[in-house]
Chains A and B, each alone.
Chain A
Amino acid sequence: MKEVVIDARGLHYKVLNDMVHRAIGEGVGRIVLENVAGQRYIGDGLKEEVEIVIRGTPGNDLAAFMDGPRIVVEGNAQDGVGNTMNGGEVIIHGDGGDILGYSMRGGRIFVRGDVGYRVGIHMKAYKDLFPVVVVGGCAKDFLGEYMAGGLLVVLGLDGKDELVGDFVGTGMHGGSIFIRGYLDERTLGKEVGVTEPDEDDLTLLHRYLEDFCRCFDLDLGEVLRKPFLKLYPHTHRPYGRLYAY
């Protein structure tokens, strides 16, 4: 596989992304971006089978509208990771920012650290498209807001008490959220219920957690030692009776 290393130091995002596109056009299968410092839109709209390794901190909208590549961030990412992403994989070894996975329809995002506000907002699944976001640390307020499909997992591996912020799943009408450990029910949006995961849920969870642990060199057994809680939407039609016909 052809590999290329690009030094992103001092490059405007447009120049950097042009270089990435050109490399892909030349059939490069693995692109390593060194010294990335806030350049936006890396991987934006890419469909090709390519691996992009980012050393440094990529800017907002990493992997937006992406549909295929695998992106590995050896550091933290900023806001809007995987915005309207349709397929592919984003592995973040540090933290992720706000609205990670916004309207994501397929593919998966694994974050080893914490994530910000409104993560997984508008996530939706359709037929064989099934988006998955697994967060190793904690998430802030409005996790899974308006969520319509897919899978959101928060593991809290770093031992903090509060895994999620307030208003979890507000407006949620599809998909499921799994929280590893304790959850204060007062933090939940009113459209969400809590239950224990059943056999099918656990099988699904194991599948993704196995991959997650492999990515970050974690012990699956250790991760599974704590029980999970499942959050589910009460209805697919949260706003069905609003109107006077």
Chain B
Amino acid sequence: MAKAKYRPEFIVQRDDEKCIRCQVCVRMCSNDVHAYYPDTVISDSFKCVGCHFCEDLCPTGAIAIRRSEPHIKENYHWSGTDVYNIIKQADTGGVLLTGMGCDRPYKDYFGHIVLNASQVTNPSIDPLREPMELRTFIGGKPEVVIIGKSSEPELRTQIPPQLELETPIMFSAMSYGSISLNACKSLAKAACDFGTCWNTGEGGLHRDLSPYAHRAIVQVASGRFGVNKEYLDAGCAVEIKIGQGAKPGIGGHLPGEKVPEEVSRTRMIPEGTDALSPAPHHDIYSIEDLKQLIFALKEATRYEKPVGVKIAAVHNVAPIASGIVRAGADFVVIDGIRGGTGAAPTLIRNNVGIPIELAIAVVDSRLREEGIRNRASIIAAGGFRSSADVVKAIALGADAVYIGTAALIALGCHLCQRCYTGKCNWGIATQDPYLTKRLNPEIGARRAYNLLRAWSLEIKEMLGGMGINAIESLRGNREQLRGVGLNEVELELLGIKHAGEAW
């Protein structure tokens, strides 16, 4: 039987007149796309994943990577991807894998929401000349605050532990193992320099990252990798990972070949064994059980730091979030369908979960209706592309957001979605020392810091335009939002009016 050929997804075009045979591309490509034969360089497009590393490195601009047209006859129902996936599965009998977040054309709600600005009747604020407050506190807030009446101001209410952030943007959970140590270092340092938090993911805390641990949210997942007393003590908050937006209902699985010595030391498992973090925590079958783990962690950390819970945004997200808050979580992380990952079954990533915009709105509404919104902060995650997305998320009801993919793009990621191969040319999603050294953590930290700075400046501009001088006044302030091209159900769920409607 004739075997179907895979199509090259990309075409590597080389301008032979510009090529100076320096062989940088040959040496650098981890997918072995380029090869040098005396006086000529040839490229095998079949191997190209479209990460554009060679293109960016080529000193003469001789290389161009172009998306190729599928050489099968596509139709409205059968895309080239569908067909080639079936061929691949017939070849291997395996589950399709992918990396990064869902790329399917589900409605982009952020793209259908517009912001307000002040005109005439209320003044806008110029953030360049007037104070603008982005400081955000993550943690439970008391119902009432009692201030003592003596001459010195005195807070009589005991405030639950809080994370103090200089901007409502944090780096989401990406474990050492899923990304390189240099990538972890870049984000950790940027978070510390800027005054926000990063997240260890479920892979433990590498010893080289301990200088940044005071701004680390340490994750506890079902496999408990790297979790011990020191780990819990080191971080500024603890996050119980129930699920993630890229693969709701699916556990983590770091294959044995990605557990070399350093990863093994950090996760505290032998080299080369599979690191299995199944979707269910087998001590959590109910909200009551979740409460038990939340308080086990609070007891272990002597109630000194916030303990939160991360879930994927699914159909029942609002009642689940309510249960989590009632179980005593200090923050709830909701990860939408666009949330990224180092590896997930393609079909799960593309078909399970709900958009984060809707999830934020329904969770915030539900907690308000029940009168428990103050008990926990909401952190939204899953595909934030710009400061505008962040502003809209906060106006819908989030306290802060987690960015993952955007942060990795700042470090060089070109969204080729092949994180699961461990061959990341940009030195991010790999443990190969030849590749990881391409990412200089000092430069990475500066770039991630720059991203935080740029987005924070933009948020201030947008706030000022609305006549708001503190991010606190934007939180859940849905009057600042209007829908464009959304139907009644969507507007009702988002809790916003359609553009054109006045206050």
Interface residues of A (CB under 8 A from B): 13-14, 17, 21, 40-41, 44-45, 47, 60-61, 64-67, 79-80, 83-84, 86, 99, 102-103, 105, 118, 121-122, 124-126, 129, 145-146, 148-149, 171, 173-174, 236-245
Taking the nearest CB of chain B, how far is it from the CB of A80, in angstroms? 6
Residues on A with beta carbons closer than 8 Å to the beta carbon of B88? 244
Q: Is B255 an interface residue (CB 8 A)?
A: yes
Q: Which residues of B contact A245 (CB under 8 A)?
A: 92, 94, 97, 421
- Interface-lining segment among B37-45, B50-58, B148-156, B220-228: B220-228
Which of these, B91, B93, B295, contacts A40 with CB under 8 Å? Answer: B295
Closest 8 CB pairs of A and B: A45-B300, A244-B94, A103-B224, A244-B92, A41-B299, A126-B268, A44-B299, A65-B300
Q: Which residues of B sit under 8 angstroms from A236, Cβ to Cβ?
A: 256, 270, 272-274
Residues of B within 8 A of A84 (CB): 224, 227-228
CA distance A237 to B299 in the complex (A): 35
Q: Which of B223-242 contact A (CB under 8 A)?
A: 223-224, 227-229, 232
Task: Contact check, B229 vs A67: say whether CB atoms are below 8 A apart.
Answer: yes
Number of residues from B at the complex interface, CB < 8 A: 41
Q: List 14 A-B contacts (CB under 8 A).
A: A40-B299, A45-B229, A61-B292, A80-B292, A105-B224, A118-B282, A125-B270, A126-B269, A171-B276, A236-B272, A237-B255, A242-B94, A243-B97, A245-B97
Interface residues of chain B, those whose CB is within 8 Å of chain A, are: 88-89, 91-97, 222-224, 227-229, 232, 253, 255-256, 264, 268-270, 272-274, 276, 278, 282-283, 292-293, 295-297, 299-302, 420-421
* Whole-angstrom distance between the Cβ of B342 and the nearest chain A Cβ: 13
A148 touches B302 (CB 8 A): no
Residues of B with C-beta under 8 A to A80: 283, 292, 296
Nearest Cβ in chain B — how far from A228, in angstroms? 24
The answer to whether B232 touches A45 (Cβ under 8 A) is yes
Tell whether A121 pairs with B270 under 8 Å between CB atoms, given A41-B299, A45-B301, A241-B94: no
Please indicate the chain A residues that have their CB under 8 angstroms from the CB of B300 in the complex. Answer: 41, 44-45, 64-65
- Please give the distance in Å from A72's CB to the nearest CB on chain B: 20
B294 to chain A, nearest CB (A): 11
A residues near B295, Cβ cutoff 8 Å: 40-41
Name the contact of B91 in the complex, choosing from A61, A171, A238, A244 (C-beta under 8 A): A244
Chain A residues closer than 8 Å to B297, beta-carbon distance: 65
Residues of B within 8 A of A241 (CB): 94
Q: With A41-B299, A240-B256 as given contacts, are A65 and B229 in contact (CB-CB < 8 Å)?
A: yes
